[in-house]
Amino acid sequence: MKNKETLYRELLTEVGGLVDGESDEIANMANIAAAIYAKFGFHWVGFYRVVGEELVLGPFQGPVACTRIAFGRGVCGTAWKEGRTLIVPDVDKFPGHIACSALSRSEIVIPIAREGAVVAELDIDSAELDTFDAVDERYLTDLVTSLGSAGKS
Ligand code: SME
């Protein structure tokens, strides 16, 4: 079986081909979520966008999810508030975790910033404990960095 870094490098090439030259952020989020989901088979892969005072569900793959999340609430709201990536090895031990799906066991949330402000997040849930580490953080951050670039519509 291929190791995680090999899979991520393949994913970066695939995603680059899908989003390069495309300025529509929703379309790019949709293809990035689908590409990650297809590559790794995670339980849930998707985006939340900052709309006013809340995170609002964006393109995703997997079971239905919470539509709106308040600033500071759950893993997603906390990553937004703190402006940093959160890796949660066991969601049952994260105070205030929002259980959109009972099958979720671990999670990574990566904020996407534009001009210093968080504008969206990539959220991935795994059905296994302790799925995500610094390797996931590095490659997933690379994958979504272009979404924060100026000039996206
Ligand atoms: N578990 C997240 C909510 C979003 S879903 O998992 C898709 C949280 O605590 O922020």
Per-residue model confidence as pLDDT tens for the chain (153 residues): 789 999 999 999 999 999 988 999 999 999 999 999 999 999 999 999 999 999 999 999 999 999 999 999 999 999 999 999 999 999 999 998 998 888 999 999 999 999 989 999 999 999 999 999 999 999 999 999 878 774 444
Ligand 1 atom at shortest distance from the alpha carbon of 97: 9
The confidence score (pLDDT) of residue 150 equals 47
Mutate to test the pocket of ligand 1, among 66, 86, 94, 108 (most ligand atoms within 8 A of CB): 66
Domain extents for the chain? 4-149
Nearest to 106, CA basis, from 91, 121, 123: 91
Q: 21 CA distance to ligand 1 centroid (A)?
A: 31
| Global confidence as pTM | 0.94
Q: 74 CA distance to ligand 1 centroid (A)?
A: 6
The confidence score (pLDDT) of residue 12 equals 94
- Tokens 């081909």: give the residue: 17
Fold exhibited by the domain 4-149: Beta-Lactamase (3.30.450)
Helices (H), the chain: 4-19, 25-40, 74-82, 134-145
Q: How far apart are CA 131 and CA 116, in angstroms?
A: 29
